[in-house]
Amino acid sequence: MKPIAVLLAATALVAGAPSFAQITAVSITGGKVEGVRQDGLGIFKGIPFAAPPTGANRWRAPQPVAGWSGIKKADAFAPGCMQDTSFAAMMGAPTNVSEDCLYLNVWTPAKAAGEKLPVMVWIYGGGFAGGMTGIPTYDGANLAHKGVVLVSIAYRVGPFGFLAHPALSAESGQGSGNYGLEDQIAGLRWVRDNIARFGGDPANVTIFGESAGGISVSMLAASPLAKGLFAKAISESGGNFGSAKKDDEGGLNMPTLPGAEAQGARFFQTLGAADLKAARALPADAIQKQAGPMGTFWPNFDGYVLPGDQYRLYEEGRFNDTPILIGTNSDEGALFARPGVTAANFVADVRKGYGTKADAILAVYPHATDAEAVRSSKDLFRDTAFAWHTWVWARLQTSKGKGRAFVYYFDHRTPKSPDGSNHGSEIAYVFDNLGGPSGPPSDTDKRLAHQFSSYWVNFAKTGDPNGGGLPAWPAFTAANEQVMGLGDKTGPMPVPHLDKLKTLDGYYAWRRGDAAAGQ
């Protein structure tokens, strides 16, 4: 080969190299990180986005990440946030947990910074008591291969993430008990400031989550602290549109700040901690042990992260207006079914929790026999925890906002779930991570994974799930309250169980004190 030909060939190789290279080394807030190249992706695991919430930082808003020198390896998941490890074991994840847990992960298909790919940020569920980014089902590779930068962020859970206390509120001057939500917001600020270096577009960020993660998405949609940090929102089995819980009212979860502070004060007593300094000095394991596997800690209406009743905030136009994609599963209540339900105790529980609206609720949830009561107990949980919030959210978004709403209903029946899709069963399809303990995927599984993951990525790209030859998904509107059926049958359908949701709407309006709710 002549010298000029050699030179041209070498130049061509060098010029072509970036098209085959992945981003694996990035300078970010705090320093430089190095990930790994795998199957056409740059993958970074265990990137710190805040200082460890330990010592004096326990029960404080996330603090700025400390800088480091040299190159930090980002090739392994960080430990999950403190929690009972049974949740991780059940989900097939490593059971190492720590208070030092504010890390995130990135999967990017970009070849260079500046590609401005859509970004999807995953927020895990777990009842605000568990969950972690290292759960195998949450691996972001297959979504990234569809053309998005996938980020998963950790947040504190249980008493470490959601314990309020009068001393903590006095210390911050801004309430207390919503540290886990503040972690999520800190993670989104990191995305805004750093994701362009991974080839992502900070102006095109979609947050998505399931269960407590989906509820978190709903809360972020109403939090002024999250304004401008995301352009679209996806919530799987989530929503937070009930009023504050003050006693033991049916279908309500969110305490007021004073209620959460009183719970925190009682918890300090069970810990034997005389004051905040003593509580911060306790080992994390001792606090977790006292809280128990799931605990009872939940976000609260602190007036700062969460200004108040989200239904009211939406009515007043005080929310982060974006397109939304939201939905529920047909048999979500089965996961939470309690044993020993009979017709008699179902009626007693409804009368105890739902006050003057109990008769109306009992009229639409059959309970003539114990078998009917068992079914209705599951359905009432499904609707009060997930389905009513989803329906109301779609209605409020379309009536008060500019962003469109797309609503789904997942109903896939299998020998293991003959009554419909259980809580969380859509996640493997969304991430297109099939197989594992459940065995080889069927043709139906593969179809559903293609549909779910493609709809989700389309929405992240454009704010509309349609495209790519998928069955047409109509937007939810006031004039046409249709949802997209996904599962054994695919296509638009009326809102399921609408008679039940309308009855619950009257109940929640009564709890809010709306005059139109009647007496």
Q: In terms of DSSP bridges, do strands 117-123 and 149-153 run parallel, antiparallel, or are they unpaired?
A: parallel
- From the list 152, 169, 176, 211, the catalytic residue is 211
DSSP state of 339: T
Question: What is the structure's pLDDT at 19?
Answer: 41
Q: Which phi and psi angles does 446 have, rounded to 5°?
A: -65, -40
The residue behind tokens 């080394």 is 25
User: CB-based contacts of 172: which residues, under 8 Å, 6+ apart?
Assistant: 60, 61
The residue behind tokens 């795998």 is 38
Q: Does 507 map to a domain?
A: no
pLDDT exceeds 70 at position 515: no
Question: What is the structure's pLDDT at 519?
Answer: 44
Percent of residues, the chain, with pLDDT higher than 70: 95
Active site residue 316: no
Reported as a single tens digit per residue, the pLDDT across 102-140 is 999 999 999 999 999 999 999 999 999 999 999 999 999
Q: Distances in Å between the alpha carbon of 399 and those of 234, 306, 390, 395, 516?
A: 18, 22, 14, 6, 18
> What secondary structure, in 3-state letters, does 391-438 show?
HHHHHHHHHHCCCCEEEEEEECCCCCCCCCCCCCCCHHHHCCCCCHHH
Question: What is the structure's pLDDT at 152?
Answer: 98
Range of the domain at 468: 32-339+385-502
Question: What is the structure's pLDDT at 369?
Answer: 98
Q: Which letter, b or e, does each residue of 110-146 get, where b requires 16 or more Cβ atoms within 10 Å of its Cβ?
A: bbeeebbbbbbbbbbbbbbbbbbbbbebbbbbbbbbb
Q: Does 250 map to a domain?
A: yes
Question: What is the structure's pLDDT at 244?
Answer: 95
pLDDT band at 173 (very low <50, low <70, confident <90, very high): very high
Q: Which phi and psi angles does 234 have, rounded to 5°?
A: -125, 130
Residues facing 408 on adjacent strands? 327, 484
Question: What is the structure's pLDDT at 1?
Answer: 39
Q: Which amino acid is at 113?
A: A
Q: Which phi and psi angles does 335 have, rounded to 5°?
A: -65, -25
Q: Are 117 and 199 in contact (CB under 8 A)?
A: yes
Distance CA 434, CA 449 (A): 8
Question: What is the structure's pLDDT at 95?
Answer: 87
Of 274, 186, 263, 264, the residue nearest 223 (C-alpha):
186
Number of domains in the chain: 1
Question: What is the structure's pLDDT at 11?
Answer: 32
Q: Are 447 and 470 in contact (CB under 8 A)?
A: no
Q: Does 461 map to a domain?
A: yes
User: CB-based contacts of 56: which residues, under 8 Å, 6+ apart?
Assistant: 280
Percent of residues, the chain, with pLDDT higher than 90: 88
CA 403 to chain centre: 20
pLDDT exceeds 90 at position 16: no
Rg (CA), the chain: 24
Question: What is the structure's pLDDT at 440?
Answer: 87
Handedness of CA 168, 169, 171, 174 (dihedral sign): positive
Reported as a single tens digit per residue, the pLDDT across 302-355 is 999 999 999 999 999 999 999 999 999 999 999 998 899 999 999 999 999 999
Reported as a single tens digit per residue, the pLDDT across 174-229 is 999 999 999 999 999 999 999 999 999 999 999 999 999 999 999 999 999 999 99
- From the list 235, 423, 453, 497, the catalytic residue is 423
pLDDT exceeds 80 at position 21: no
Active site residue 211: yes
Question: What is the structure's pLDDT at 462?
Answer: 98
Q: Does 512 map to a domain?
A: no
Question: Angle, nearest 10°, between helix axes 498-512 and 388-400?
Answer: 70
pLDDT band at 288 (very low <50, low <70, confident <90, very high): very high
pLDDT exceeds 70 at position 30: yes
Reported as a single tens digit per residue, the pLDDT across 146-163 is 999 999 999 999 999 999
CA 139 to chain centre: 15
Strands, E, within 60-172: which ranges? 71-73, 80-81, 97-98, 103-108, 117-123, 149-153
- From the list 332, 376, 426, 497, the catalytic residue is 332
Q: What value does the mean pLDDT take over residues 406-413? A: 97
Q: What value does the mean pLDDT take over residues 437-445? A: 84
Q: Does 364 map to a domain?
A: no
Active site residue 332: yes
Q: Does 508 map to a domain?
A: no
Q: Which phi and psi angles does 250 have, rounded to 5°?
A: -65, 140
pLDDT band at 15 (very low <50, low <70, confident <90, very high): very low
Question: What is the structure's pLDDT at 2?
Answer: 39
Q: Does 359 map to a domain?
A: no
Reported as a single tens digit per residue, the pLDDT across 46-97 is 999 999 999 999 999 999 999 999 999 999 999 999 999 988 888 888 889 9
Q: Are 175 and 169 in contact (CB under 8 A)?
A: yes
Distance CA 463, CA 119 (A): 12
Domain CATH code at residue 40: 3.40.50.1820
Which spans in 463-516 are helix H? 498-512
Of 42, 50, 53, 47, the residue nearest 32 (C-alpha):
47
Tokens at 38, concatenated? 């795998």
Reported as a single tens digit per residue, the pLDDT across 217-274 is 999 999 999 999 999 999 999 999 999 999 989 999 999 999 999 999 999 999 999 9
Q: Which letter, b or e, does each residue of 458-491 get, where b requires 16 or more Cβ atoms within 10 Å of its Cβ?
A: bbbbebbbbeeeeeebebbeeeebbbbbbbeeee
Distance CA 59, CA 77 (A): 23
Q: Is 53 in a helix, a strand, or coil?
A: coil
pLDDT exceeds 90 at position 514: no
Handedness of CA 121, 178, 387, 92 (dihedral sign): positive
Question: What is the structure's pLDDT at 292?
Answer: 87
Q: Which amino acid is at 134?
A: G
Q: Does 256 map to a domain?
A: yes
pLDDT exceeds 90 at position 4: no
